[in-house]
Every structure is written in structure tokens, then in C-alpha cells.
């Protein structure tokens, strides 16, 4: 077990499952650059035997998004004053706190209750799978601040709901309740609020029931499918299955 409460989250590692809990409930788990830096550092030190990461929020909300004190304070103004290249490089560092959740060797699960707004929505989108409590509300609210979603969420959003609906959600910033989120494919499952943690744990155990190497190959096949033609995907399937057959026969490299 590792405790990172000072930087806005805490971690519990139990064998192959790591549970990351955003832990700023007094501000609905609003996010800061310090939290992003700490998440990136945690990802680099994640034990190699971890197969599933469950991401959750303490209190009433998953995450209400960017802490508005950052927008009003010196950090945001500092980004405006540096060169465009330096600003983009800094945002690239922020993005690392989200992109590691797509690592090929992990299956990541967001357990979302209450608000998942802006950066909170994008953090949930960075995960492979999403379970929502029936009180969950999603919104890509960056437009209301005159900003764009820049924390790796736009591609996954388009993949999940299509261009037209993704554009509508991003340019209006409107709120999407749990039932609609399930209907349009944003979340895999909606459960009662008091069943959320148990549902996430059940899903983690279901993932762990499959052999790790097979799960890794399946994730790679599916995550890359949208960028391949049918012949390319068929070749990827053949190659992955050949590796599995050889490995199961004890002939793997």
C-alpha cells in the first residue's frame, strides 16, 4: 500500500489490482498540475505484477475537473507567458497523467459517481472501461472556460460515440446523465451508487480470470483495430494467435 494523499490521491495495491483513489473530496476531487505530476510518477513505479488498475474518487464525486484556483492563479498565467513551444511541452507533461492508463499491459477501470466534468471526464475516458453509478454526470466543460479538451480525451470520445455526438458534447459542454451515457456507449455499466465499488471489483476479478498474455494480445488487437484495414486486422489476428498457440505449446520465445 502507498499513500499519496498530500498530492491528491491514495493508492492501494493488492496483488494484481491497484486501486487509485482521488482524495480531495472537499473540492469534489478537482485536479491540479501537482496531482498530474504525482500520478505520472506513480505510473512509472507501478509494480510489474499489476494487471488491473481501478480509478475511483472519494466522496460525492469522481472528479469535478480542473481546480479553478489553477485557472485564476499563477500557474495558468505562467503558461500564457511562455513560448508556444514551451506551453505545448508543459501540456504534454500534463497528458502523461492520463495516457499511462492506456498502457498495453494493463486493463484500467474508472468507477464514476457524481460529477465527472472536464478533466474528470477525460480521466474516465483514459481508462479502458467505465462503470457509472446511477447519479453520475459527465460533461466536457472546457468550452465554458474558453478552452479545449487537451488531456487525451478527444480521440477516445469520438471512438466511443462518433464524431457528431462528440462534437455536440464538446462545443455545448452539456451534461450527460448515467442512463444516457450507457445508451450512447460512454460507459459499460450503470449500477446503484452503493454497488459501484463492488461492481468495479467484480469486473477486475473477471479480467484477472483470463491469462495475462491472452488479455494483453486481445487489448492490442482491439485498441489498434480502428486504425487498420480489414486485411491488416486479419493479419494482426493471425500473428497474435500464432504467438498464443506457440506459447501454450511451450514454444514461445
> What pLDDT does residue 153 have?
97
> What pLDDT does residue 69 have?
82
Packed helices 153-161 and 163-172: angle between N→C axes, nearest 10 degrees: 130
> What pLDDT does residue 5 have?
58
How buried is residue 192: exposed, middle or buried, by Cβ count under 10 Å (0-12/13-18/19+)?
exposed
Same domain, 235 and 122: no
Q: Residue 160 falls within a domain, yes or no? A: yes
> What pLDDT does residue 104 have?
96
Same domain, 155 and 216: no
CA 89, 81, 24, 145 torsion-angle sign: negative
Number of domains in the chain: 2
In degrees, to the nearest 5, what angle opens at C-alpha 28 toward C-alphas 23 and 29?
40
Q: Tally Cβ neighbours within 10 Å of residue 53.
A: 25
Domain that holds residue 244: 212-248
Q: What is the pTM of this model?
A: 0.95
Chain CA centroid to CA 64, Å: 15
Same domain, 149 and 229: no
> What pLDDT does residue 1 have?
45
pLDDT in tens, 112-156: 999 999 999 999 999 999 999 999 999 999 999 999 999 999 999
The 3 state secondary structure assigned to 13-78 is EECCEEEEEECCHHHCCCECHHHHHHHHHHHHCCCCCCCEEEEEECCCCCECCECHHHHHCHHHHH
Low-confidence ranges of the chain (pLDDT < 50): 1
Could you tell me the CATH number of the domain that includes residue 13? 3.90.226.10
Same domain, 145 and 225: no
Amino acid at each position: 500500500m502507498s499513500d499519496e494523499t498530500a498530492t491528491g490521491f491514495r493508492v492501494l495495491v493488492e496483488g494484481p489490482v491497484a486501486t487509485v483513489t482521488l482524495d480531495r473530496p472537499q473540492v469534489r476531487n478537482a485536479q491540479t498540475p501537482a496531482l498530474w505530476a504525482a500520478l505520472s510518477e506513480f505510473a512509472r513505479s507501478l509494480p510489474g505484477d499489476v494487471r488491473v488498475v481501478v480509478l475511483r474518487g472519494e466522496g460525492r464525486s469522481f472528479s469535478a475537473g480542473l481546480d479553478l484556483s489553477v485557472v485564476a492563479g499563477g500557474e495558468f498565467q505562467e503558461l500564457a507567458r511562455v513560448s508556444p513551444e514551451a506551453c505545448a511541452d508543459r501540456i504534454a507533461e500534463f497528458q502523461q497523467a492520463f495516457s499511462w492508463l492506456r498502457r498495453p499491459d494493463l486493463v484500467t477501470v474508472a468507477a464514476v459517481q457524481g460529477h465527472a466534468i472536464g478533466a474528470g471526464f477525460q480521466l474516465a475516458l483514459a481508462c479502458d472501461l467505465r462503470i457509472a453509478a446511477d447519479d453520475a454526470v459527465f460533461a466536457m466543460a472546457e468550452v465554458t472556460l474558453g478552452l479545449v479538451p487537451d488531456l487525451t480525451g478527444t480521440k477516445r470520445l469520438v471512438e466511443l460515440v462518433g464524431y457528431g455526438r462528440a462534437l455536440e458534447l464538446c462545443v455545448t459542454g452539456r451534461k450527460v446523465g448515467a442512463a444516457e451515457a450507457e445508451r450512447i456507449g460512454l460507459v459499460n455499466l450503470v449500477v446503484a451508487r452503493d454497488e459501484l465499488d463492488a461492481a468495479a471489483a467484480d469486473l477486475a476479478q473477471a479480467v484477472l480470470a483470463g491469462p495475462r498474455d491472452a488479455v494483453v494480445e486481445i487489448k492490442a488487437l482491439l485498441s489498434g483495430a480502428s486504425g487498420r484495414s480489414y486485411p491488416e486486422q486479419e493479419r494482426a489476428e493471425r500473428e497474435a494467435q500464432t504467438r498464443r498457440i506457440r506459447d501454450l505449446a511451450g514454444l514461445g520465445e
